[in-house]
Amino acid sequence: MAKILEGIRVFDLTIAAVGPWATKLLGALGADVIKVEAPGGDRLSHAVPPTIKGSSVLYISANHNKRMIELDLKKEADRAIALKIIEQSDVFVQNMRPGAVERLGLGYDVVAQVNPRMIYVAASAYGRIGPMAGEAGIDPTVQAFCGWCGITGPEHGRGEMFRHLAHLDLTTATTITQSVLQALIARERTGRGQLIEIEMLTAAMALQTTRLAEYFATGEQPAPLGSAAATTAPHQAFECEDRRYIAIGVERDEQWSGCCEALKLAELISDPRFETNSLRVKHRAELIPILAERLKTKPAAWWTMRLNNERVPNGPFLTFEELRRHPQVLANGHIVEIDTPHWGRMYVDGLPWKFERAPAGPIRAGGKPGEHTAELLTELGIVDDRRAGVSK
């Protein structure tokens, strides 16, 4: 069965996580992704710890489903090879600091001239216009800037960063993947490629659209609420008798009576203070202590059973050690183990989608920088004059 993006070639001039993760997903859908790196690669991708057998995990994880080629684009001979690959490609993705790719002579205008059908993605931290045009940014700086620390943290405490410093990187990455798919559909109709511009800042703001909406509606900064949701209640973590926490999330009104039954607080069902979601949000300060007090009287396992019986959303706070063996994770391939040529057996992120007729994957480890240079040039019918020069 042909994969969805079979026959689509991606010229991948990406660094760090944002660009690479986007093209890795295109690779999982069947595209032939050619990752182009300068000799030595970018420092961020290769030097960031942790490492496995000396290779940065950032590099390994963001570059599955690709083939690796080394080109020194500052040299004319290598740039000529790049242009030949570009002629045979459908998608060009780069996330260099604005201006950098133009200095390499591979800006959109040049590439579109060589290949008018090219879908060209220029991703950046803050865009190429405005007072911060050209500034570099990575996940933590964008986290700091985009307002997201102000809505996360303990109640009445200081806002804090999400310490897994990749979420906004990968959110931007997935937005790139989505936009490429859109442009591929459009190209079938128009016959032309196009330029797509994406900033991490805007992607990070879109990810907060529900929280920004609260601010736009009230003119007040939404405060951090610990584990609680701002616009639904009860929707937070509760400590149980055995000191374990469980997350409970009543998002729909019909879940409220079940929640009351499960907690043996049936009298709350008809309590006029709590009848609807908006009343419960308004009277959160009265509601939560009642529930918290009740939940402290029995262990988490008891409440989990009762909440499940009533079909109230709830769940434990799991850890990787539990997740990697979890029957739900295994049954759906949310985390999978693969064998890799250089780094042994690894746990990797499963694919985020399932296709009934044209399955994506399987996930295949990329490789080390330049690993596929000769293979690729031969396959694309590109004569490597550089090597000929050396052998003379």
Partner 1 sequence: MTRAGSLDGIRVIDLTQGLCGPFCTMQLGDAGAEVIKIEPPAGDFARRMGPPFVGDESAVFLSLNRNKKSVVLDLETSLGRQATALLACDADVIVEDLGPGAAEKLGLGYAQLHGANNKLVCCSITPFGENGPLRDRPGSELVVQAMAEYTASLGRIGDPPIRVGADIASLNTGIFAAQAILAALFDRLRTGEGQRVAVSEFGSLLHLRGIMWHSMSDPDDWYGFHLDHYTKPPDSGYQAKNGPLYFILRRGSNEDWDRLVMELGMEEVLADRRFADYGRAATSIGRYATEVKPIWEKAFRNRTREEIIDLVKSVGGDAVPIMDYPSLLVHPQVAALEAISEIDHPTAGRFKTVRPVARFSETPDSIRLAPPMLGQHTEEILRAAGLGSL
Q: According to CB under 8 A, which residues from 6 to 45 bind partner 1?
A: 17, 25, 29
CB 81 to partner 1: min, Å: 27
Q: Please count the residues of this chain forming the interface with partner 1, following the rule CB under 8 A.
A: 157
Question: Which of 105, 134, 159, 370 lies at the binding interface for partner 1 (CB under 8 A)?
Answer: 159
Q: How far is the CB of 238 from partner 1 (least distance, A)?
A: 9
SS3 337: strand
Q: Which residues contact 124 (CB under 8 A, 6 or more apart)?
A: 95, 97, 98, 137, 197, 198, 199, 200
Residue 158 lies near partner 1 (rule: CB under 8 A):
yes
Q: How far apart are CA 389 and CA 384, in angstroms?
A: 9
Helix (H) / strand (E) containing 349:
strand 344-349
Long-range contacts of 77-85 (CB under 8 A, 24+ apart): 77/385, 77/386, 77/389, 78/386, 79/104, 79/105, 79/106, 81/377, 81/382, 81/384, 81/386, 82/11, 82/36, 82/106, 83/114, 84/380, 84/382, 85/11, 85/34, 85/36, 85/376, 85/380, 85/382
154 binds partner 1 (CB under 8 A): yes
Tokens matching residue 22: 């986007």
In the complex, minimum distance from the CB of residue 65 to partner 1, in angstroms, rounded to a whole number: 13
324 binds partner 1 (CB under 8 A): yes
Interface region with partner 1, contact rule CB under 8 A, candidates 76-84, 263-271, 327-335, 384-392: 327-335
Sign of CA dihedral 293, 299, 301, 306: negative
CB 144 within 8 A of CB 166: no
Q: Is 57 in the site for partner 1 (CB under 8 A)?
A: yes
Q: At what angle do helices 209-218 and 200-207 cross, to 10 degrees?
A: 70
Task: Using the minimum distance from each CB to partner 1, give the nearer residue, 210 or 378.
Answer: 210
Kindly tell me which residue out of 229, 290, 301, 380 binds partner 1, with binding defined by CB under 8 A: 229
Six-digit token string for 153: 């943290």
Query: 88 or 208: whose CB is closer to partner 1?
Result: 208
Query: Could you say whether residue 61 binds partner 1 (CB under 8 A)?
Result: yes
179: which 2 tokens?
A: 């936009």
| Contact pick of 46, 66, 235, 368 for partner 1 (by CB under 8 A) | 235
Site string for partner 1, 108-147 (x = CB under 8 A): ------------------xx-xxxxx-xxxx-xx-xxxxx
Question: Please, which residue, 136 or 380, has the CB nearer to partner 1?
Answer: 136
Instruction: State yes or no: residue 317 binds partner 1 (CB under 8 A).
Output: yes
Question: In angstroms, what CA-CA distances link 328 with 174, 244, 311, 321, 336?
Answer: 24, 21, 18, 14, 12
**Can residue 272 be called a binding residue for partner 1 (CB under 8 A)?**
no
Q: How far is the CB of 1 from partner 1 (least distance, A)?
A: 10
Nearer to partner 1, 241 or 384 (CB): 241
- Neighbouring CB atoms inside 10 A of 306's CB total 18
Cβ proximity to partner 1, 192 vs 273, nearer residue: 192
The residue from 271, 350, 380, 386 that contacts partner 1 (CB under 8 A) is 350
Q: 79 or 174, CB closer to partner 1?
A: 174
Q: Which of 83, 100, 114, 165 binds partner 1 (CB under 8 A)?
A: 165
What residues are paired with 70 via a beta bridge?
37
Asked if 346 interacts with partner 1 (CB under 8 A), we say yes
**Residue 8 Cβ vs partner 1, minimum distance, rounded to whole Å:** 9
Answer yes or no whether residue 289 interacts with partner 1 by CB under 8 A. no
The answer to whether 347 contacts partner 1 (rule: CB under 8 A) is yes
For partner 1, the binding residue among 100, 114, 149, 382 (CB under 8 A) is 149
Supply the minimum distance, in Å, between the C-beta of residue 36 and partner 1: 22
Q: Encoding tokens for residue 88?
A: 């045979």
Residue from 11, 148, 274, 303 in contact with partner 1 (CB under 8 A): 148
Describe the strand order of the beta sheet including 235-239 as a list of residue ranges. Answer: 235-239, 245-249, 314-316
Torsion of CA 222, 203, 65, 192, to 10 degrees: 160
Residue 167 as a binder of partner 1 (CB under 8 A): the answer is: yes
Binding mask 189-228 for partner 1 (x = CB under 8 A): -x-xxxxxxxx-xxx-xxxxxxxxxxxxxx--xx-x-xxx
Closest CA to 310 of 372, 245, 256, 235: 256
Distance from CA of residue 194 to its chain's centroid?
24
